[in-house]
Chains A and B, each alone.
Chain A
Amino acid sequence: MQVRAEGLSAMRGGRTVFADVRFAVDAGEALAVTGPNGSGKSTLLRVIAGLLGPVAGAIVIDPAAEDSALHYLGHLDGLKTALTVRQNLVFWQALWNGRRDDEQIGPALARLGIEPLADLTLGVLSAGQRRRVALTRMLLAKRLLWLLDEPATALDAAGEDAVAAMVEAHLREGGIAVVATHRPLPYAVRLLALGARP
């Protein structure tokens, strides 16, 4: 599997955020997208996900996969604060896998070190704990392409290690990760630096 960007340009609010971006990532590789604030890291991830249409160029996923071959973790967690951690996770299980599987949830939570929080309401958790729940959700369905927008936001050192371990395991299984980040990544194979635009 390979993900390629061919001369990609995108606009937000009538302003070009990046132009003519090219990269290629193969199975088992991670791409670290770096650049100052406003350089279009998040926009690039949204374009790859297909949430935002590019102005020019194209994203090629080779071989063409089904629609939902990716996990997208934006800067928002996409969780409901009124529900418990387990209810949140069971919802996405039903949506992605078509069934609920309680056996799967415990080990997935354990990988991010938040197993004891399973039955707490999400509203009482800290930002870092919520981020961990959002990361746990990605383990519930297998997807080859992971798009991570600042995955370690609000996480402590142990949390960052857990994310790194999670992504490395994903890469070992032949997955691809595109990570927008400000920090150096322990596993990054390729680097894409987006420049600031006036």
Chain B
Amino acid sequence: MIVALAAIAGQTARLTLKGGGALVGLVFFLAVVVVVPFGVGPDLKLLSRIGPAVLWIAALLATLLNLDRLFRDDRDDGSLDLLALSDVPLGLTVLAKCVGAWLATGLPLVVVSPLLGLLLGIEPAGLGVSALTLLVGTPALTFIGATGAALMAALARGGLLIAVAVLPFTIPVLIFGVSASYAVLVGPAPFLPPFLILVALTLIAAVIAPVAGAMALRIAVE
């Protein structure tokens, strides 16, 4: 079973990287972060204050951008039928695909976020904590987006609809991710409570996504 799940995660990551999806997400992330300082103007204080929020919003959009094809490709080429018929429970298949998608799209965002944080004038302590909150929080975004992608798999053209449909559900992740960063940067609220809620959100999403995703895919297969 472990081998099967690793194969699903590995194939998803490999196809996302080959399809250029990972790169598109990164470029999008970079574009948003680079453009914001121009929009805000030469106010370095303001920029470093909103920096963590900009990083989070850019990461949120870049993650959702990539999930559109997570299940639709499998449905279009017929793999989804075979995945549904295999011994591996469909819920675990969804979980493994989320892990693969996150490794190819979420993890690169986390890795480059300190670098882009520099462009926004975030203090060194803030760079670390922003990367940490993204590391913990972006899996939740992938899980929520994947649930939406599974729901849209049955439609011929989901596309942007996924981003719009799941955006409301990602807002709690955004709120606690950003407030954990601010707790370190400006205080005086403690860091731990919002951070632990962020962890909890990721864990909850990790449980709900396989169940809801599997139900949605059963309908898509019919």
Residues of A that sit less than 8 Å from B by CB:
49-53, 66-68, 70, 72, 74-83, 87, 90-92, 94-96, 98-100
Contact = CB atoms under 8 A, between A and B. Distances in A.
Contacts, number: 73
Contacts of B79: 78-80
Interface stretch (B2-10, B43-51, B119-127, B189-197): B2-10
Given A91-B7, A96-B87, A83 B81 contact: no
A50 B11 contact: no
Given A76-B77, A82-B19, A68 B85 contact: yes
A108 B106 CA distance: 38
9 contacts: A50-B85, A68-B87, A72-B85, A76-B76, A80-B11, A91-B7, A94-B4, A96-B4, A98-B1
Given A51-B81, A76-B76, A83-B14, 14 more contacts: A50-B85, A52-B221, A70-B85, A72-B81, A72-B82, A75-B78, A76-B81, A77-B77, A80-B11, A80-B79, A82-B19, A87-B11, A91-B11, A94-B6
Nearest to A77: B78
A47 to B, nearest CB: 11
B11 to A, nearest CB: 5
Nearest to A79: B77
B90 to A, nearest CB: 11
Contact of B84 (A51, A66, A87, A96): A51
Contacts of A67: 85, 87
A89 to B, nearest CB: 11
Interface of B: 1, 3-4, 6-8, 11, 14-15, 18-19, 76-79, 81-88, 221-222
Q: Please classify the interface of chain A as helix (H, G, I), strand (E, B), loop, or mixed, using the class held by over half of its residues.
A: loop
Nearest to B82: A78
B4 A76 contact: no
Counting from the closest, the 8 A-B pairs by CB-CB distance are A76-B78, A94-B7, A78-B78, A78-B79, A95-B4, A82-B18, A68-B87, A98-B3
Given A70-B85, A78-B82, A80-B79, A52 B15 contact: no
Contacts of A79: 77, 79
A98 B11 contact: no
A49 B82 CA distance: 10
Contacts of B6: 94
Nearest to B75: A76
B13 to A, nearest CB: 12
B15 A82 contact: yes
B194 to A, nearest CB: 40
A70 B73 CA distance: 23
B85 A95 contact: no
B81 A95 contact: no
A49 B221 CA distance: 12
A52 B218 CA distance: 9
Contacts of A74: 78, 81
Given A94-B3, A94-B4, A78 B88 contact: no
A53 B166 CA distance: 29
Contacts of A77: 77-78
A100 B3 CA distance: 9
